[in-house]
Amino acid sequence: MAGVTIQNMTKTYGNGAIRAVDSLNLDIKDGEFMILVGPSGCGKSTALRMIAGLEEISDGGVWIGDRFVNDMHPKARNTAMVFQNYALYPHLTVFDNIAFPLQIARLPRTEIARRVQDAARILELGDYLKRRPGHLSGGQRQRVAMGRAIVRQPDVFLMDEPLSNLDAKLRVQMRAEISGLQRRLGTTTIYVTHDQVEAMTMGDRVALMRDGVLQQVDAPTVLYDSPANMFVAAFIGSPSMNLFRAILSRGDAGEFVLVSGSLRIAVPAGLVAARPALGGLVDRPVVFGIRAEDMCDARTLGADADAAGVTVSSAAATIEELGSDLLVHFDIEADQIHVANLDLVQELGAGGGSRVIARFAPRSGVRQGTPVQVRIDTNRLHFFDPKTERAI
């Protein structure tokens, strides 16, 4: 096993006119489970293929352990890749599909059998070794593809959206299985996905990319609680963070106040103290954000009603009943910012109606079209620079 070091790795096309991956830097520790996540076309799969040796690196370098691998043949890098489409041989049995890379390497038959049986036991495929892929479910086929990677005993596993062809329930099951398998084997793993739920639930760390550029890399909870910029804030979390443009002003008592359309929010003193840069932005535009779970039905607060926050009145435009909670869509008069398709930040009309999403308790009794009182926890506000999109 080995760690992976990526320094200024770049992939260009069209004589450098198109930069699919732009100066990517990552230091992946031995045994770490690293997730590369981002929207379609952000360069994450291209980055994985460069590590595997399936794409030529235009600039920069990749080290696996202490080996510089830029010019190594894919086979010599000792990585094992699991693809989105399984890539199984339909005419071979499960045993022969798993054994195929070992047969190509001309290992002794006894060693091949031992490794295949070990992988089959780990993946619970022992009863299916004589079957062909056409007689297996999607989840079983994915296990076979993983078994073929495991038997190679690689330094690094590379996984390119391996669950995207599975149904929702099976994806949840396979997420847990892959995470547990990686912990048992302790093999360095780089896993590509466009699904931020997979990213948040599986990896030790998450690297979020946008247009070929790394936006932030850290533990999942850090990306969620402390996004580095507006793109990270919008991409990580479901539903996306609600974002608004506002003017930061001073109230009569010297307190900081956010003014966005008809919405006025007093910023808690503790939050200002934790973000001293806000002091230099008085009477200037800022972007603030609030997550759905940091807003609730004001009627349910009880003794906590006096906690820092502001209550807004509206009507429930749409209700999404998820069983564990309700997503309540409502309109407020505020200047909303929308990260359109997670590619381009667009400003909506100032003072216009903005559709906001709050997460309510499942038995709050709110129904579509009924009035709602929404309490915003102002201690949980996020702040961003509207010009650079960076967090304040």
| pLDDT reading at 57 higher than 50 | yes
Q: How far is CA 377 from each of CA 275, 290, 297, 335, rounded to the nearest angstrom?
A: 17, 8, 11, 19
Digit-coded pLDDT (tens) for 143-152: 899 899 999 9
What is the mean predicted confidence (pLDDT) over 18-45? 95
CB distance 204 to 197 below 8 Å: no
**Interatomic CA distance for residues 166 and 330, integer angstroms:** 34
**Interatomic CA distance for residues 281 and 285, integer angstroms:** 7
Q: How far is CA 158 from each of CA 81, 97, 193, 384, rounded to the nearest angstrom?
A: 5, 18, 12, 35
**Interatomic CA distance for residues 33 and 30, integer angstroms:** 9
| pLDDT reading at 363 higher than 60 | yes
Helices 94-104 and 138-150 sit at what angle, rounded to 10 degrees? 20
Residue 349: pLDDT band (50, 70, 90) is: very low
> Which of the listed CATH numbers 3.40.630.10, 3.40.50.300, 3.20.20.70, 3.20.20.240 matches domain 4-235?
3.40.50.300
pLDDT given at position 303: 52
**Ranges of each domain in the chain:** 4-235, 242-384
Digit-coded pLDDT (tens) for 182-229: 998 899 999 999 988 899 999 999 999 999 999 999 999 999 999 999
pLDDT given at position 350: 40
Describe the strand order of the beta sheet including 156-160 as a list of residue ranges.
79-82, 156-160, 188-193, 33-37, 205-210, 213-218
Residue 351: pLDDT band (50, 70, 90) is: very low
What is the mean predicted confidence (pLDDT) over 101-107? 91
**Interatomic CA distance for residues 359 and 296, integer angstroms:** 6
**Interatomic CA distance for residues 152 and 171, integer angstroms:** 25
CB distance 231 to 389 below 8 Å: yes
**Interatomic CA distance for residues 249 and 252, integer angstroms:** 10
**Interatomic CA distance for residues 222 and 286, integer angstroms:** 22
Helices 168-185 and 138-150 sit at what angle, rounded to 10 degrees? 20
Question: Environment class of residue 383 by beta-carbon count within 10 Å: exposed (0-12), middle (13-18) or buried (19+)?
Answer: buried
Helices (H), the chain: 44-52, 94-104, 109-122, 138-150, 168-185, 196-202, 220-225, 230-235, 269-274
| pLDDT reading at 291 higher than 90 | yes
| pLDDT reading at 301 higher than 80 | no
| pLDDT reading at 48 higher than 90 | yes
What's the whole-number average pLDDT of the chain? 89
Tell me the torsion sign for CA atoms 365, 318, 328, 299: negative
Lowest mean pLDDT among 251-255, 258-262, 276-280, 370-374: 251-255
Place of tokens 């010599």: 76
